[in-house]
C-alpha cells in the first residue's frame, strides 16, 4: 500500500462544514456513489454519534455495493477521563460498519495545553490507546495528526512523539494535517521527508486553504513521498476550504505522472458540477481544470494563436478533464475570436464579415452591453447580422401596475401586447412577484398561444449591474437573464436607463433564442 497513491475524499465530513452547506442523508449517499463511480479510493462519510444524520448515513451506506471506495468513519481519540473501551465515541466508530476509521489527535503542544487541558504524556496515551483499540479489532486506522505542521514548527520533538504514539498503537497511516492552512510548500516537503525517515508507516497529507496553498502543499507532500492525499471536491470546507481534489487529481496524473488507474479524468468536470449542485454551492467559474472559465479565452491575440495551436494558451486540453473551450466575445476580441466563435454556431463567416460583426459588438459594448456572459444574445446578434433573420414576434406595447395593499403587501401586474410574424395580435396580463416576474409571465403567456414551447421556459437567474454609479437613479443598467427549458440553459442581456426596459430586452432575446434553436433543430 505504501507504493500506491491513495486519494481520500472528505467532502461528506469536512466539506459539510462549509458555510451554507447542509447535506441531507440522501445527498450524502448520492455523492458517495458518484465518488465510488469516479474511482476515489477512500471516502470519509462523517462522524458517527456526533449527529443523527451521520448515524443514519452509515446505517444506510451498508446497503450500497461500492466497487472502488472504502468508506471511512471519522472521530476523535478517547477522552482524557475514560479508557478507550469505555469511550462512547470510540464505540460508535467501532459499530458503525465502516471499513476503516480515521482518528484525529492533537500533535501541537499548544492545543494539548489550551484545548484539551491535559498533560503531554496523557495526550500521548490517548493517541496510542485509541489507535490500539481499533487495531486489536482488525480495523485499518488512519491517524490524522491535527495541527501537525504548526506543532512541528514550534516543538518538533513532541509533534513527532505524537506520531510515534500512533505507530505504537498500530496505525496504518500517519496523516500530517495543516489544520490552520498556514504552512508553505517547502516546509511541508521538509517535514514529510523527516517523518518518513523516522517511521516505517506510510504518510499522508491533509491541507487547508487559508493561505491559498492547500493544493501546492499537498503536491509538495507527494513529491516528498506522501502516498495519501486528503481533500474535498471543489475545495469545500470550513473557512477558506480544504485542498481541492479537482485540482490535485489532474496535476497528479497529467503533471506528476501518477497513473491513477480506474479514474477517468474526462468525468472530473461533471463530478465537480454534481457535488456543487448537491451542496447548493455553484463552483467558482475560475476553478482550475473544471471551472466554467478554466478554458475561456477573451483576448483576440490569444484566440488567433490558438487557432494555429491550442498549446499556445492552454496547459492541457479541456476535453482531458471533461471541460470545454469557450471563446468569449467583447470589445477586446479580434476578428479571429469572432470567426472561431461563430464556428460554434455552424456559421462559416469570412474575415470581412467577422470585422463587421466585431465593429457592431464594440459599438454595443460602448453602450454598456456585455456579451462574454450572454452568449445567447451574441448568437442572435450574429444571425441577425449574418443571416438577416426575421424576429418571430414583436412587442407592440406593455404596461406595469404596482399596487400597495394594506401596509405590507405590494402587488405587480403586467399587461403585454405581442404580434407574431403573421401580424396576429395577442393581448394578455399576469401578476407576479415583482414587476420583472410579472412582465416575464405576461410575455410568455401571450406568446404561448403562438409558440407552446415557451411554456417550458423559466428564469433561473437575474442580475442587474449599474453601469455609472455617479448618475444615481438616472444611470444605465445592464440586465443579465439566465433561462432554461429543462434541457439546456442560456443567458441574454439588455441595456437601458430604464431597468424594466433593459429586463424586457433580455427577456425578448431569451424567448427569441429558444424559438430560433427550435427552428434550427427542425422542431419549430
Over the stretch 197-209, which tens digit does the pLDDT of each residue have?
Answer: 999 999 999 999 9
Coil, helix or strand at residue 494: strand
Question: Grid coordinates representing 154?
Answer: 514550534
Q: pLDDT confidence of 337, banded at 50, 70, 90?
A: low
Q: How far apart are CA 71 and CA 98, in angstroms?
A: 5
Least confident range of 296-300, 328-332, 377-381, 474-478? 328-332
pLDDT higher than threshold 80 for residue 468: no
Least confident range of 201-215, 286-300, 312-326, 344-358? 344-358
Cα angle 367-368-370, degrees, rounded to a multiple of 5: 125
Question: Grid coordinates representing 501?
Answer: 426596459
Question: Grid coordinates representing 6?
Answer: 491513495
Q: pLDDT confidence of 2, banded at 50, 70, 90?
A: very low
Please name the fold of domain 367-384+457-524: Double Stranded RNA Binding Domain (3.30.160)
Taking each helix axis as running N to C, give the angle between helix 268-279 and helix 25-38, from 0 to 180 degrees, rounded to the nearest 10.
170
CA-nearest of 140, 151, 150 to 174 is 140
Q: Average pLDDT of 495-523?
A: 87
Question: Cα Rg for the chain, rounded, in angstroms?
Answer: 29
pLDDT higher than threshold 90 for residue 465: no
The mean pLDDT of the chain is: 89
The pLDDT assigned to 1 comes to 38
The pLDDT assigned to 407 comes to 65
Q: Which long-range contacts (CB under 8 A, 24 or more apart) does 221-225 make?
A: 221/176, 221/188, 221/189, 221/192, 222/5, 222/252, 222/256, 222/258, 223/189, 223/256, 224/188, 224/189, 224/190, 224/192, 224/193, 224/196, 225/192, 225/193, 225/196
Give residue-wise pLDDT tens across range 259-316: 999 999 999 999 998 999 889 887 888 999 999 888 877 766 776 677 678 788 889 9
Give residue-wise pLDDT tens across range 32-71: 999 999 999 999 999 998 889 999 999 999 999 999 999 9
Residue 172, strand partner residues: none
Other CB atoms within 10 Å distance of the CB of residue 505: 21
The residues near 289 (Cβ < 8 Å, ≥ 6 apart) are 246, 247, 250, 268, 269, 316, 321, 323
Q: How far apart are CA 358 and CA 333, in angstroms?
A: 8
Q: pLDDT confidence of 361, banded at 50, 70, 90?
A: confident
Q: How far apart are CA 299 and CA 335, in angstroms?
A: 11
pLDDT higher than threshold 60 for residue 523: no
Instruction: Work out the burial of residue 283: count CB atoms within 10 Å of its CB; fewer than 13 is exposed, 13-18 middle, 19 or more buried.
Output: buried
Coil, helix or strand at residue 524: coil
Q: How far apart are CA 330 and CA 152, in angstroms?
A: 51
Residue of higher predicted confidence among 384 and 254: 254
Give residue-wise pLDDT tens across range 10-35: 999 999 999 999 999 999 999 999 99
Q: Give the pTM.
A: 0.71
Q: Give me the sheet containing 489-496, strands edge to edge.
A: 458-466, 477-484, 489-496
Q: How far apart are CA 202 and CA 187, in angstroms?
A: 19
The pLDDT assigned to 524 comes to 47
C-beta separation of 241 from 232 below 8 A: yes
pLDDT higher than threshold 60 for residue 334: no
Task: Match domain 6-279 to its CATH number in 3.40.190.290, 3.90.1170.50, 3.20.20.70, 3.40.50.1370.
Answer: 3.20.20.70
Give residue-wise pLDDT tens across range 137-179: 999 999 999 999 999 999 999 999 999 999 999 999 999 999 9
Question: Grid coordinates representing 325?
Answer: 473551450
C-beta separation of 35 from 9 below 8 A: yes
Amino acid at each position: 500500500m505504501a507504493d500506491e497513491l491513495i486519494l481520500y475524499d472528505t467532502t461528506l465530513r469536512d466539506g459539510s462544514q462549509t458555510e451554507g452547506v447542509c447535506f441531507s442523508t440522501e445527498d450524502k449517499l448520492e455523492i458517495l456513489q458518484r465518488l465510488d463511480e469516479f474511482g476515489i479510493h477512500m471516502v470519509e462519510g462523517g462522524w458517527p454519534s456526533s449527529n443523527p444524520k451521520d448515524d443514519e448515513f452509515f446505517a444506510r451506506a451498508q446497503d450500497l455495493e461500492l466497487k472502488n471506495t472504502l468508506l471511512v468513519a471519522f472521530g476523535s481519540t478517547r477522552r482524557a477521563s475514560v479508557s478507550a473501551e469505555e469511550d462512547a465515541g470510540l464505540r460508535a466508530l467501532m459499530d458503525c460498519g465502516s471499513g476503516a476509521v480515521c482518528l484525529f489527535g492533537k500533535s501541537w503542544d499548544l492545543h494539548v495545553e489550551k484545548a484539551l487541558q491535559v498533560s503531554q504524556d496523557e495526550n500521548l496515551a490517548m493517541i496510542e490507546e485509541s489507535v490500539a483499540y481499533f487495531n486489536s479489532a482488525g480495523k485499518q486506522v488512519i491517524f490524522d495528526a491535527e495541527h501537525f505542521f504548526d506543532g512541528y514548527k514550534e516543538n518538533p520533538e513532541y509533534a513527532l512523539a505524537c506520531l510515534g504514539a500512533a505507530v505504537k498503537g498500530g496505525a496504518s497511516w500517519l496523516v500530517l494535517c495543516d489544520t490552520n492552512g498556514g504552512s508553505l510548500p517547502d516546509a511541508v516537503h521538509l517535514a514529510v521527508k523527516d517523518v518518513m525517515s523516522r517511521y516505517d508507516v506510510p504518510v499522508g497529507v491533509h491541507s487547508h486553504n487559508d493561505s491559498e496553498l492547500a493544493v501546492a502543499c499537498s503536491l509538495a507532500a507527494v513529491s516528498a513521498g506522501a502516498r495519501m492525499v486528503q481533500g474535498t471536491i471543489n475545495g469545500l470546507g470550513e473557512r477558506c476550504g480544504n485542498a481541492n481534489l479537482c485540482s490535485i487529481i489532474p496535476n497528479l496524473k497529467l503533471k506528476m505522472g501518477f497513473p491513477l488507474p480506474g479514474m477517468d479524468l474526462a468525468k472530473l468536470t461533471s463530478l465537480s458540477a454534481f457535488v456543487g449542485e448537491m451542496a447548493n454551492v455553484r463552483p467558482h467559474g475560475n476553478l482550475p481544470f473544471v471551472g466554467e472559465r478554466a478554458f475561456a479565452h477573451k483576448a483576440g491575440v490569444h484566440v488567433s494563436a490558438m487557432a494555429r495551436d491550442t498549446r499556445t494558451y492552454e496547459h492541457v486540453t479541456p476535453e482531458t478533464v471533461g471541460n470545454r473551450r469557450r471563446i468569449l466575445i467583447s470589445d477586446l476580441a479580434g476578428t479571429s475570436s469572432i470567426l472561431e466563435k461563430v464556428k460554434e454556431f455552424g456559421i462559416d463567416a469570412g474575415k470581412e464579415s467577422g470585422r463587421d460583426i466585431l465593429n457592431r459588438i464594440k459599438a454595443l459594448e460602448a453602450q454598456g452591453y456585455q456579451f462574454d456572459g450572454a452568449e445567447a444574445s451574441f448568437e442572435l446578434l450574429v444571425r441577425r447580422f449574418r443571416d438577416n433573420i426575421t424576429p418571430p414576434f414583436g412587442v407592440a406595447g406593455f404596461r406595469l401596475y404596482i399596487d400597495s395593499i394594506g401596509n405590507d403587501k405590494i402587488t405587480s401586474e403586467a399587461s403585454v401586447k405581442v404580434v407574431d410574424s403573421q401580424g396576429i395580435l395577442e393581448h394578455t396580463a399576469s401578476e407576479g412577484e415583482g414587476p420583472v416576474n410579472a412582465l416575464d409571465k405576461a410575455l410568455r403567456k401571450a406568446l404561448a398561444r403562438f409558440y407552446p414551447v415557451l411554456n417550458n421556459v423559466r428564469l433561473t437567474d437575474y442580475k442587474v449591474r449599474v453601469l455609472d454609479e455617479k448618475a444615481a437613479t438616472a444611470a444605465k443598467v445592464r440586465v443579465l437573464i439566465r433561462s432554461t427549458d429543462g434541457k439546456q440553459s442560456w443567458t441574454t442581456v439588455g441595456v437601458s436607463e430604464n431597468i424594466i426596459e433593459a429586463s424586457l430586452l433580455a427577456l425578448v432575446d431569451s424567448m427569441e433564442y429558444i424559438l430560433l434553436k427550435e427552428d434550427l433543430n427542425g422542431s419549430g
